[in-house]
Amino acid sequence: MLQPQLTRRDLFRLAALAGGGAAAGGLLSACGADGTAPASADIAPNAKITFASTTITNSLDPHAALSNTGRSYAVQVYDTLVQFDPGGGGFAPGLATAWKRVDDTTLELTLREGVTFHEGGAFDAAAVVANIERLTGDSSGKLTQVKGFLGAVTKATAVDAKTVRITTGTPDPILLNRLTRVDIVDPSIFASSTQKASGTGPFRVTGYTPAQKIELERYARSWRSTDRVATATLQAISDPNTLASALRSGEVDIAFGLGPTQAEQMRGSFGIKATSAGSCAICSMIPAVEPKLADPRVREAINLAVNRDEFVAAGLAGYGKPSTGQLLQPGFQGYDSSFGPLPHDIAKARQLLKDAGAENLRLDIATTAIFKSQAETVAGYLGAVGIKSEVQLQELSAFIGTLLKNSTVPLLYWQTDYFDLRDIASVSRFGPQAAGVQRHFENDEYPALYTQANKEMDATRREALIKQMAKLLREQYGVLFLAWPDLVYVHSKRLVEVGLTGNSLVRLESLGKTA
């Protein structure tokens, strides 16, 4: 299947391993990376690794990378100031070893000592300031996305060579989350950043064929460096079936981007690393396209039509968990453990549709090729309660327009990714919208709560606000809740250790390959 260079599957990355999330992983790790891992003594040093995924970064410059397609490259070559803690919900040191809030709008970070860029320059406070200024000062439109992640950041100042202060225009409760998205690039290559790479990560770039592959070589001076992997190739194989063949033939060691049903077929002969992604599969219901969707009874009926356990078992091959009617999954700030499973009741759904005078509805679903199978499953469920539904596949750029501006299709199948910031702030579609832009949920209270939550500096109060948003969305059946899908890496059994970052990216330097 042909895919655009950006694929949605690459957009869900972050894991929430903490708390109840482990329950989802439990089942999967049982059939995944099975317990036959040999002692680490069997791991040979200086391995050569091929890591394939359906797409690779669109640019060597991590600041110009689009959405998250560039993350699995950037994490090998670059470092961020702070990172999400792989072991839990908090933060772990990156290029900054310590940080403290000076006041509501200022954060002071202490930088790691003795770090040098691949090109030889020293990493210091001036480099951090140059990176922040590069992003905040960009007017070319090319760095928009990463700039967007910086939110209200206005400036960075060097206190001394190893201390930096970052200032925001307004109080920002998730400033640290935002800093996990900013890779620190060697300022000496800003001008040539599409041609070469220079970061502080454990690998340096030795070759780049756009949209095809990136060759990496160990950078031993990195503070993250290990002796395990000497060279690595990041390979793009856009067709998931070819990706599966390449794994089977042994040409690829580890792959990302296989569909859940494909991963299921590789169980047994391959190791599978499935972690819950910070993402919720939903269908938006757009009343502007089909006015009947403004009726809460119709929205409830649509929610009743879907059997979520079956959807996860058959549609996602078990790689996920049924949503309990909230976007956030366990482990994220504002997850509400008091929500029970959503019911599946065809008779009641039909009755509600009848009461609402909405029999013989026709509700097509728009989505991208990646989600075709799942959207088709939803269409099947709608058919069972008498709603006619076909799936309209749009390629990603058209679908983003459908999602962000104005749709002509009543239902939109997508995933609300909040892994990037590990926060509900990432799900901006239900927040305030500009004039002339469709609303995914006709409600004035929700956007107000969203705005309020994103400037609330007190953690307890903020959590209460997010829970209030979730309650509202579920009571009103604001969306069709489906599932929290997992993200799945399939790897050769020769890889006996696969380390992930706190946002579920493979750390190449951690891979343990047997001889």
Partner 1 sequence: MRRRLAGMLTKGAGLVVVTLGILSLLFFIIRLSGDPAAILAGPGASPEQIAETGRALGLDRPLWMQYREFLADTLTLRLGDSLLTQRPALDMVLDRLPATLLLAGSTLLTVLVVAVPVGAFAARFHGRLGGRAVALLTAVVQAVPNFLLGIGLIWLFSLYLGWLPTFGSGTAAQLVLPTLTLAAFTGARVARLLRTELLEDAGADWMRTARAKGVPGLRILVRHALRHAGLPVLALLTVEVSYLVSGAVVVETLYAYGGIGKQLVDAVFNRDYPVVQATVLVVAVGVIVVNAVGEWLMGVLDPRTVA
Partner 2 sequence: MRWVALTGLVALVLAAVLAGPLTGQDPIAQHLGDRLLPPGTAGHLLGTDDKGRDVLARTLYGARVSLLVGFVAATAASAFGMLLGLLAGYYGGWADRLITRAGDVWIAFPFLVLAVATLAVAGSDLWILVSLLALAGWVTPTRVTRSLVRRLRGADHVQAAIGLGAGDARVIRRHVLPAVLPANLVVWTLTVGTLILIEGGLSFLGLGVRPPTPSWGNMLNDGRGFLEIAWWMTAAPGVALTLTVLLTNLLGDALRDRLDVRLRDR
Binding site for partner 2 (CB under 8 A): 1-2, 240-241, 259, 261-262, 265, 307, 310, 313-315, 364, 369, 372-373, 376-377, 379-381, 383-384, 390-395, 398
Q: How many residues bind partner 1 (CB under 8 A)?
A: 56
Strands 365-367, 411-417: pairing is: parallel
- Least spacing, CB of residue 406 vs partner 2, in Å: 15
HEC sequence for 29-97: HHHCCCCCCCCHHHECCCEEEEEEECCCCCCCCHHHCCCCCCHHHHHHHCCECEEECCCCCCEEECCEE
- Least spacing, CB of residue 317 vs partner 2, in Å: 10
Stretch that binds partner 1, among 205-213, 303-311, 315-323, 330-338 (CB under 8 A): 205-213
Residue 420 touches which member of partner 2, partner 1, none, C-beta under 5-8 Å by kind? partner 1
Residue 11 touches which member of partner 1, partner 2, none, C-beta under 5-8 Å by kind? partner 1
Please report, as a single letter, which amino acid is at residue 192: S
- Least spacing, CB of residue 116 vs partner 1, in Å: 27
Residue 404 near partner 1 by CB under 8 A: yes
Q: Which of 43, 156, 342, 403 binds partner 1 (CB under 8 A)?
A: 403
Residue 493 near partner 1 by CB under 8 A: no
- Which one, 150 or 387, has the nearer CB to partner 1? 150
- Least spacing, CB of residue 222 vs partner 2, in Å: 39
- Least spacing, CB of residue 1 vs partner 2, in Å: 5
Q: In terms of Cα–Cα distance, which of 199, 156, 161, 196 is closest to 175?
A: 156
- Least spacing, CB of residue 491 vs partner 1, in Å: 16
Place of tokens 């919720």: 280
- Least spacing, CB of residue 476 vs partner 2, in Å: 28
Asked if residue 272 lies in contact with residue 32, where contact means CB atoms within 8 angstroms, the answer is yes
- Output the CA–CA distances (angstroms, integers) from residue 149 to 66, 170, 185, in the order listed: 12, 15, 16
- Residue 25 phi/psi, 5-degree rounding, is -70, -30
Q: Which of 61, 79, 172, 183 binds partner 1 (CB under 8 A)?
A: 61
Instruction: Pinpoint the alpha helices (H) of 168-259.
Output: 175-179, 240-248
Between vectors from CA 471 to CA 465 and to CA 472, what angle results, nearest 5°?
90
- Which one, 413 or 484, has the nearer CB to partner 2? 413
Residue 428 near partner 1 by CB under 8 A: yes
- Least spacing, CB of residue 274 vs partner 2, in Å: 18
Which helix (H) or strand (E) segment is 216 a member of? strand 213-218
Residue 191 near partner 1 by CB under 8 A: no
Q: Determine the Cα–Cα distance for residues 338 and 18; give it in Å rounded to an integer.
A: 17
- The residues, any chain, with a CB within 8 Å of residue 341's CB and separated by 6 or more, are 308, 322, 324
Residue 237 touches which member of partner 2, partner 1, none, C-beta under 5-8 Å by kind? partner 1
Residue 148 near partner 1 by CB under 8 A: yes
Residue 177 near partner 1 by CB under 8 A: no
CB atoms within 10 A of CB 230: 15
Q: Is 423 exposed, middle or buried (0-12, 13-18, 19+ CB in 10 A)?
A: buried
Binding positions for partner 1, 229-248, rule CB under 8 A = 235-239, 241-242, 245-246, 248
Hey, which bits of 104-186 come out as E strands? 106-111, 153-160, 163-168
Interface with partner 1 (CB under 8 A): 1-6, 8, 11, 58-59, 61, 64, 66-67, 139-142, 144-145, 148, 194-195, 209-212, 235-239, 241-242, 245-246, 248-249, 251, 395-398, 400-401, 403-405, 414, 417, 420, 426, 428, 433-434, 437
